[in-house]
Amino acid sequence: MQQPVKVVVEHDLAKSVVKLLQLENAKRPFVVLDKFLLDVDAVKDMLQALKDQGIDYQVYAGIVPDPPASVINSGAKEMKDFGADSVIAIGGGSSLDGAKGINIVASDGGKIEDYVKNEDGIHDLKPLISVPTTAGTGSEMSNALVVTDTTTHEKNAILSDKMLSDYALLVPELTLSLPKKQTIASGLDAFSHAAEGYLSTLSSPVCDAICEKIMFLQYNYLPGAVADGSNLELRQRVLVAADLAGWMLNQSGTIVAHSEAHVLGTKYHFVHGEAVAYALPAVLKLVAPVEPKKVKEIGKILNAHFDGNETPAEIADITVKAYKHFRDDMVGLHPFADYGVSNDELAKNADEVLHERFAGNTPVKLTLDNVTELLKHFG
């Protein structure tokens, strides 16, 4: 297991960014961020600090959710024209992913679509400082980015350790203004990263221990962060949990719950963190026969009680009940029915889910039948 990203937890964005740029001897950063962040005081202070230090920078605020290839390619052209020697990414998963893609294209040429099938072309990247403003995707730690193909409406993943951030800068103050709905979705996404990584065929004993801790942190601190978004300690706890979950994605990946979210999210515009949370219960039931100990351990983390004589199916039922209590009652995820999409409609996507990139990590052999069953119980 490797963890080459340098993780820094600080409370002053401006000072921290200046210090990290100086460590890299970087003098022309390209700043990629969500547009609304230009009105946030901490970001204004950071940009002013760069000016005060005589650091020439350029801002690219064209990122949109689920960034299409055109947005990444456009940003890359601006970065190359500016002659940037480094990248600062600030925002949610879309901004951090977008910045990775911009760095790839500006540094290695071509367009981002070229790298979906040819990840070996990634090599000469500029130093990247990633600053998450949500506590969910863990993109600041992950070796993946997701780019949307606007012609096919598919979300394509690009995986390469070469695109890893040089620094993950965690500033919990930047998450204080995160709306309740986003706090819920991002926290449940990080929980699912850990639960799915724990159940993945790529897992290892060390990964398992970290995944257990991530789920523990989310169970114990996410409800409080949702209830009181101004509590800095709780915000920092879930931010660190999400960061660790992003690292775990590099080690063990995710399984079919994320495959469902990727396929359905693109097609029906489901919020990603909500989609994985709706997918997880049926997935726990699917894998319980082959991973009963791990499904039971997830149940224990969720404060479920077992007498020790349960069958795998009973273990799954108890764990799913505990998870839904956590998801719906403690954290407050809204019902799937609010989307107004039927499970029969979702089931039409079974073949696409079956062949999605991360589905192969599932510890049960997936078939059209059992994936269809998962989609019929999505929610």
> What is the DSSP code string of 192-233?
HHHHHHHHSTT--HHHHHHHHHHHHHHHHHHHHHHH-TT-HH
Please identify which residue in the block is written with the tokens 């404060």: 303
C-alpha span between 297 and 92 (Å, rounded)? 30
Q: If you average pLDDT over residues 223-228, what whole number do you get?
A: 97
**Angle formed by the axes of helices 312-324 and 272-287, nearest 10°:** 160
Look at residues 175, 202, 226 and tell me which one is the last residue of a structural domain: 175
Q: Are residues 164 and 231 in the same domain?
A: no
Alpha-helical runs (H) found in 228-255: 232-252
Contact partners, residue 185, CB within 8 Å, separation at least 6: 136, 271, 272, 273, 274, 277, 333
* Domain end position, chosen among 126, 145, 175: 175
Q: Is the pLDDT of residue 2 over 80?
A: no
Please indicate, yes or no, if residue 233 is contained in any of the structural domains.
yes
Report pLDDT for 34. Answer: 87
CATH label of the domain that carries residue 290 = 1.20.1090.10
- State the virtual CA torsion across 91, 96, 97, 102 in degrees, nearest 10: 110
Same domain flag for 144 and 62: yes
User: Mean pLDDT over residues 157-180, rounded?
Assistant: 92
* pLDDT (average), residues 299-312: 97
Residue 111 lies in a domain: yes
- Position 152 pLDDT exceeds 80: no
Element (H, E) at 97: helix 93-108
The predicted-structure confidence for 93-102, as pLDDT tens digits, reads as follows 889 999 999 9
Residues 253 and 340 in one domain: yes
Over range 301-309, report the average pLDDT: 96
Asked, for residue 1, whether it belongs to a domain, the answer is no
Token digits of residue 379: 């929610």
pLDDT at 167 over 90: yes
| 234 plus 363 within the same structural domain | yes
**Count of Cβ atoms closer than 10 Å to residue 22 Cβ:** 12
Q: Are residues 205 and 325 in the same domain?
A: yes
Q: How confident is the model at residue 159 (pLDDT cuts 50, 70, 90)?
A: confident
Beta strands (DSSP E) in the chain are 6-9, 29-33, 58-60, 86-91, 128-132, 144-149, 154-159, 167-170
Whether residue 359 sits in one domain with residue 233: yes
CA 195, 67, 183 angle in degrees (round to 5)?
A: 45
In a domain, 274, yes or no: yes
Mean pLDDT of the chain: 94
Domain that holds residue 48: 6-175
Pair (184, 84) in one structural domain: no
CATH of residue 60's domain is: 3.40.50.1970
Please tell me the least confidently modeled range out of 17-21, 25-29, 118-122: 118-122
Q: Which of 150, 175, 200 is the last residue of a domain?
A: 175
d(CA 241, CA 211) in angstroms, rounded, equals 9
Give the C-alpha separation, 36 to 16, whole Å.
21
Nearby residues of 91 by Cβ (< 8 Å), 6 or more positions away = 32, 33, 34, 37, 63, 131, 132, 133, 134
Write down the pLDDT at residue 10.
95
Give the model confidence (pLDDT) of 188-222 as tens digits.
Answer: 999 999 999 999 999 999 999 999 999 999 999 99
Q: What is the pLDDT of residue 308?
A: 92
Torsion, Cα 338 341 347 350, to 10 degrees, reads -80
140 and 71 within one domain: yes
pLDDT at 8 over 90: yes
Write down how long the chain is.
379
CA atoms within 13 A on the CB side of 159: 8
pLDDT at 136: 85
First to last CA, the chain: 34
Whether 278 maps to a domain, the answer reads yes
Domain co-membership, 372 together with 244:
yes
* Backbone φ and ψ of 60, nearest 5°: -120, 110
Do both 169 and 184 map to the same domain?
no
pLDDT average, residue stretch 276-292: 98
pLDDT greater than 90 at residue 149:
no
Contact 240, 140 (CB under 8 A): no
pTM confidence score: 0.91
Residue with tokens 């991360």: 358
Residues 28 and 152 reside in one and the same domain: yes
Beta strands in 133-196 (DSSP E): 144-149, 154-159, 167-170
Q: Which of 89, 135, 145 is nearest to 242 (CA)?
A: 135
Number of structural domains the chain divides into: 2
Range 7-20 average pLDDT: 96
The reply to whether 69 and 56 lie within a common domain is: yes
What is the pLDDT at residue 116? 85
Average pLDDT over residues 53-58: 96
